Amino acid sequence: MILIYTSKNIKHKAERVIQEHGTNDVCEICDNLNISILKSNLGRIKGFLQYYKKHHHYLIQVNQKYHNAKIIIAHELGHYFLHKNLNTFKMENCSLVLGEKLEHQANIFATELLLPDYVLANETTQLQNWSLDQIASFFQIPLFIVEHKIKHMNLLTPEKTVNQNILTALN
């Protein structure tokens, strides 16, 4: 059975993971779950989640060429928490639309894991009048994660600046 996740469901799932593990540090979460992380040359592939049924063990493969492994790991943790009972390789071969949907869901999970609301709330006064690029640099995450987070928090409106909307949404 395939579960249908909304962005809100995924956000709540990421929040529960952070609460259960006491952190949003992806390496620490993997350690807690006994998920091994292996860096290797994967060509064009950034990373993937692999399950070894014989040993009941998960492994996240990360492309060593990619400079920000925590994003790949967060994305693969999205697959672990949202899709671990699905054969995503098989599904992607059967339906491009379904494959894209699963990847989108894993991206939302990664965004919510790496940039949870409380992190933004703790830094609101410092973030005032900052550009999205500056916010991404401050948190050491790619711009697309900040953009995705801002978009899903409905913080972009013409009459207010992004920073005013962050303050409003988080208070």
Long-range contacts of 115-123, Cβ-Cβ distance < 8 Å, separation of 24 or more: 115/139, 115/141, 115/145, 115/146, 115/149, 116/14, 116/15, 116/18, 116/24, 117/153, 117/170, 119/24, 120/149, 120/166, 120/170, 121/170, 121/171
28 assigned to active site? no
Residue 108 parent element (H or E): helix 96-114
Q: List the 57-63 sheet strands across, edge first.
A: 36-40, 57-63, 47-52
**Annotated catalytic residue, options 15, 20, 28, 76:** 76
Catalytic positions, written as ranges: 76
